Structure 1
Amino acid sequence: MGTPRLLVVDDEPINLEIVAEYFDGLGYTLDTATHGEEAWTLMDGGGHYDLIVLDRMMPVLDGIALLRRIKADRRFAETPVIMQTAAGAPDQIREGLAAGAYYYLVKPYERDSLLAIVRSALTDSTARDQLRQRLAEHGNALKLLSNAEFSLRSVDEASALAAFLALGCPRPEAAVIGISELLVNAVEHGNLGISYAEKAMLKQTDRWLEEVQRRLDLPENRHKHVRVTLTRTDSAVCIRVEDEGSGFDWAPYLDFDPQRACDPNGRGIALARAASFDSLCYEGCGNTVVATIAHTDQASPPCPNCRN
């Protein structure tokens, strides 16, 4: 990625000045707008933005209305949006999440909190773009495959395999995001034991990849692998992912939680479940997950590999 271009939308000039000061000297290009219609004019006029920091309550066109317009337009639908607002009520955060703002900041917030979630959103967006690019570079022969098994260790291998597996799935551009999330989770949280709180801290300090590599090199982790199985039936593709970790309490992560909306991490499983898969089930202690993607126009069937 070159110089990230950001659009900050807020009806309070002092807030725009503060945010501009936060980003000063950090290598970002910043445009500002004071309401949703002004922001839309900038975007619709050909402005490309890597990320939008959006206030919720504004005159003319409020943040939620602009967000819905953005997500309904194919030109901008994949642009990450951080919703910043003084409204910290869970119902209002849920509304923002449902409209497509998967990153949230409740005013007042500290500079470090803003920068951390901006880095996280940009990193996630770049990773998704790279996965889609890998899809474009491969062929479609995988759709002829009925059963396959794979083994991986690293985050890079997880991303490469996700792109490969997605080619054998219905809706590959949606599938690749969810598959990558499951595989990377199996490496970092499963085999390497990075906790939710640890990842949040590592994201805040921009040291996540460094810590992943450090743990991969530890003697106790060098033998650990993630096992992946793809099974194709007449009605669906099932992908089974099993790591060698001790598992986790997966239930709280299946849906978007307003309590985690301001964290730089913790939304991947819910996003994958909502956008990539027709069903997602965890087994046992949580170190095995089975994702099912129905063939087009098929009802979501039970996966033969899911024991739940």
Structure 2
Amino acid sequence: MGHRLLLVDDEPFNLELMAELLEDAGFESVQAETGEEAWAILEKDGANFATVLLDKMMPGMDGFEVLKRIKSTPSLEFLPVIMQTAVGAAASVQEGLSAGAFYYLTKPFSREMLLAVVEAAVSHWDRHAYFKELATQQIEALRNLNEACFALRTHKEAQQVTTLLAKTCPSPEKAATGLFELLVNAIEHGNLALSFQEKTALQADGQWEHELERRLGSAEYGSRQVTVRFARDPESIRFVIEDEGSGFDWEHYLSAPGSSLIETHGRGILIARRLSFDRLEYRGKGNVVEAQVSLR
């Protein structure tokens, strides 16, 4: 079996249906019918789960309380939680996203939507686990680094730079998750001028990787670079990322409520702003962003 998921719902039929759909897609599942049961499982074995699918409305300890406990527990705070609810009101959605939910599914949802959201959450968890493992290696020497500048073009180079720079931070795996998201945005939506709508359509057609390679090799976009500047002082660590694109409406993604970001658009910025950095600031037209980690 593949990744292990915790399914939480007070309706046994819903649990059986989700388990069958997810196990057919290669996921292993553990089921809980109450919030209390789910929390007991997570306290004992939380490190072995890649994602939690959590019903919001349950008697006793509801899903929102389980979510708050997950996000306030250091060993679980990066575990992706997909909230499920029959209530689609903006206030309900925003409440969950503000508390750290990865995504919101409104019942009833299709098999395709369920699998797409779970696969996105599991990929997010895999990246976090990868960076967490790498962050434990060769950290000591980087604590003496005060300034650095890097230039990169591709996702692989972004991963390498992220792995190195994250080790300068007090919580390397936490910084790495957000830093990589910002670099990917700078490459894809900055230098390669791929809109969020284009990415969605290309992924649906199975042409996303091909189009990335095509643009990286083109005369129009191929020479563009993303610059990453690192600086440390007694108060903070700062990363300034600049791409050569035309910018975007960054104010929307920094000021909009969580409920307006329920689509895939802006997820990287949301993750960086809420989970990885103490301050995130875009400048000018949006092709420069500064992310800050406090050392106090």
TM-score surpassing 0.5?
yes
Is 1:117–1:264's contact at 8 Å kept on the other side of the alignment?
no
In structure 1, the partner of 2:27 is 28
Please give the residue correspondences for 1:1-308 in structure 2 after superposition, counting only pairs within 5 Å. Answer: 3-46=2-45, 48-202=48-202, 208-254=208-254, 257-261=258-262, 263-295=263-295, 297=296
TM-fit CA distance, 1:282: 1.4
In structure 2, the partner of 1:306 is none
Is 2:283–2:289's contact at 8 Å kept on the other side of the alignment?
yes
TM-fit CA distance, 1:193: 1.7
The one-letter amino acid paired with 1:10 is D
The one-letter amino acid paired with 2:260 is Q
Is 1:200–1:265's contact at 8 Å kept on the other side of the alignment?
no
In the aligned structure 1, how far is the partner of 2:66 from the partner of 2:148? 44
Give the SS at the match of 1:254.
Answer: helix
In the aligned structure 2, how far is the partner of 1:150 from the partner of 1:75? 31
Aligned residues with identical type, % of pairs: 43
TM-fit CA distance, 1:125: 1.1
In the aligned structure 2, how far is the partner of 1:195 from the partner of 1:90? 25
Would the alpha carbon gap of residues 231 and 76 (structure 1) be closer, same or farther in structure 2, given more than 3 Å must change? closer
- Contiguous gaps of at least 5 residues in structure 1: 298-308
In the aligned structure 2, how far is the partner of 1:71 from the partner of 1:281? 24
- Contiguous gaps of at least 5 residues in structure 2: none
Give the SS at the match of 1:218.
Answer: coil
In the aligned structure 1, how far is the partner of 2:93 from the partner of 2:9? 17
Could you tell me the TM-score, scaled by structure 1's length?
0.87
| Range 153-162 or range 41-50, more displaced | 41-50
| Range 71-80 or range 107-116, more displaced | 71-80
Aligned residues: 294
Give the SS at the match of 1:46.
Answer: helix
Is 1:56–1:85's contact at 8 Å kept on the other side of the alignment?
yes
Would the alpha carbon gap of residues 23 and 292 (structure 1) be closer, same or farther in structure 2, given more than 3 Å must change? closer
Is 1:170–1:294's contact at 8 Å kept on the other side of the alignment?
no
1:184-220 CA distance string (max 9 Å, x none): 1111111112212233345556764454334323332
Give the SS at the match of 1:148.
Answer: strand
Name the Cα RMSD after superposition: 2.2
Is 1:191–1:244's contact at 8 Å kept on the other side of the alignment?
yes
In the aligned structure 1, how far is the partner of 2:125 from the partner of 2:207? 18
TM-fit CA distance, 1:251: 1.1
Is 1:9–1:39's contact at 8 Å kept on the other side of the alignment?
yes
